[in-house]
Structure formats: structure tokens, C-alpha cells
């Protein structure tokens, strides 16, 4: 091998070496760039189920499982999309469920991207996972042709209300819900 080829091989080796090495370090943004948000796949059913039970513990596991199966079978009108956040180890740590609503409080368009569910595992909170999920959700909404994005929160969920405000949502009203048997 001549000197030129040898130098070329060394330079290629060093480029790959430094690329791999950089993967071992947490970036200076505190690790946020290691979060991957992607659409959920059928193989994510178990992880999504676990996270969903965390957000809506009042629903039975069987009911959640049924909703998940219907979604992947394409039989569910809602949600329209599920985004899953993975940490650097490839472990699912949060999700967002999205729909499009013809009406949402405070909105003036009739095709509003809607955040039906938003959850980050307690141990992963406060490190940008929720923010990354919402950024991807907004992208999804734009891609669906929506120009407004809406959400709702239980009136006593101050933490979530604060997180919504921190991410640019503006509070537009407080609704009380009622029901009766027919």
C-alpha cells in the first residue's frame, strides 16, 4: 500500500472512531438531543399500554389494550396518531395521542389538531421529553393541514397547565362537565 492510500485509510478510520466516540457522551444540551420521537408501531403496544395506564389509571388494562388493538387494526377513528418518545437507551418514556377535532374551545378553524393525551414517565420528567413530544405533535398537525393546536387539562392539574403555558399554549376557558342517564 502506498503512503497516500495508507493516509487515506487512517483518515477514514479516525472519522469513524470519533463518530462512535461522540455517541458515548451526553451532549451539552443535557441529553435532550438523545430523545427520539417517532410514530408508534405495533411492536410498541406493550410500552404504550404501560404509559397509557399511567396517564389514565381509571381505565382498565383490558380497555386500554382494546383501544390499542383497534388503533393498530385501523378501526379507531380516534386517536389519529400516536407519538412515542424514546430515551438514549431506546426505552419508551412518553407518548402523545393526537386527533383532529371539528371544534375546540377558543379556536376559530374547524380542523384543529388536538392533544388527546400527553404523558411522560415520572422518572423522565423535567428533562425535555414533553417538549420534544409537543414539537413533533405540532409538526404532525401542520402536516395534516391544521393551523391551530388545542388541548385540555383537568382543572386541578396545575403542573400540566404550567407545562402547557411554558410551551406556548394560551388558556382560553374553563369548562364544567355534566352527564345524566337516558
Ligand X SMILES: CC(C)(COP(=O)(O)OP(=O)(O)OC[C@H]1O[C@@H](n2cnc3c(N)ncnc32)[C@H](O)[C@@H]1OP(=O)(O)O)[C@@H](O)C(=O)NCCC(=O)NCCS
Exactly one of 53, 78, 109, 117 binds ligand X (CB under 6 A); that residue is 117
Q: What minimum distance in Å lies between the beta carbon of 120 and ligand X?
A: 4
Cell 395506564 sits at which residue? 53
- In the list 49, 131, 138, 148, the residue contacting ligand X (rule: CB under 6 A) is 131
**What residues between 27 and 66 interact with ligand X by CB under 6 A?**
55
The answer to whether the CB of 133 falls within 8 A of the CB of 115 is: no
Query: Among 10, 61, 157, 171, which residue interacts with ligand X (rule: CB under 6 A)?
Result: 157
The verdict on 130 binding ligand X (CB under 6 A) reads: yes
Residue 79 or residue 128: which is nearer to ligand X going by CB? Answer: 128
Distances from the Cα of 142 to the Cα of 65, 76, 119, 148, 177, angstroms? 29, 22, 21, 9, 30
How far apart are CB 19 and ligand X at their closest, in Å? 28
99 binds ligand X (CB under 6 A): no
Q: Counting contacts by CB under 6 A, is residue 92 touching ligand X?
A: no
Range in contact with ligand X (rule: CB under 6 A) among 8-16, 58-66, 140-148, 158-166: 158-166
Q: Which of 125, 135, 138, 169 binds ligand X (CB under 6 A)?
A: 125
- CA–CA dist 50, 164 (Å, integer): 23
Interacting stretch for ligand X, rule CB under 6 A, among 10-18, 23-31, 40-48, 123-131?
Answer: 123-131
Q: Which helix H or strand E contains 134, and what residues bound it? A: helix 129-143
Q: How far is the CB of 103 from ligand X (least distance, A)?
A: 19
- Rounded to 10 degrees, the C-alpha dihedral 52/54/60/66 comes to 10
Under the criterion CB under 6 A, does residue 128 sit at the interface with ligand X? yes
CB proximity list for 38: less than 8 A, separation 6 or greater: 83, 84, 86
**Residue closer to ligand X (CB basis): 107 or 151:** 151
- Say if strands 112-120 and 149-151 run parallel, antiparallel, or are unpaired: parallel
Other CB atoms within a 10 A radius of the CB of residue 102 amount to 8
Amino acid at each position: 500500500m502506498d503512503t497516500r492510500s495508507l493516509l487515506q485509510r487512517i483518515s477514514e478510520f479516525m472519522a469513524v472512531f470519533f463518530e462512535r466516540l461522540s455517541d458515548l457522551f451526553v451532549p451539552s444540551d443535557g441529553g435532550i438531543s438523545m430523545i427520539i420521537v417517532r410514530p408508534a408501531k405495533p411492536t410498541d403496544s406493550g410500552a404504550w399500554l404501560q404509559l397509557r395506564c399511567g396517564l389514565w389509571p381509571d381505565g382498565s388494562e383490558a380497555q386500554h389494550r382494546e383501544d390499542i388493538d383497534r388503533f393498530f387494526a385501523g378501526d379507531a377513528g380516534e386517536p389519529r396518531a400516536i407519538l412515542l418518545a424514546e430515551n438514549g437507551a431506546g426505552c419508551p418514556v412518553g407518548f402523545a395521542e393526537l386527533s383532529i377535532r371539528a371544534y375546540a374551545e377558543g379556536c376559530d378553524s374547524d380542523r384543529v389538531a388536538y392533544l388527546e393525551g400527553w404523558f411522560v414517565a415520572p422518572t423522565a420528567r423535567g428533562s425535555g421529553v414533553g417538549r420534544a413530544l409537543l414539537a413533533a405533535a405540532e409538526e404532525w398537525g401542520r402536516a395534516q393541514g391544521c393551523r391551530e393546536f388545542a388541548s385540555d387539562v383537568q382543572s386541578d392539574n396545575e403542573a400540566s397547565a404550567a407545562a402547557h403555558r411554558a410551551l406556548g399554549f394560551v388558556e382560553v376557558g374553563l369548562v364544567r362537565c355534566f352527564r345524566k342517564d337516558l
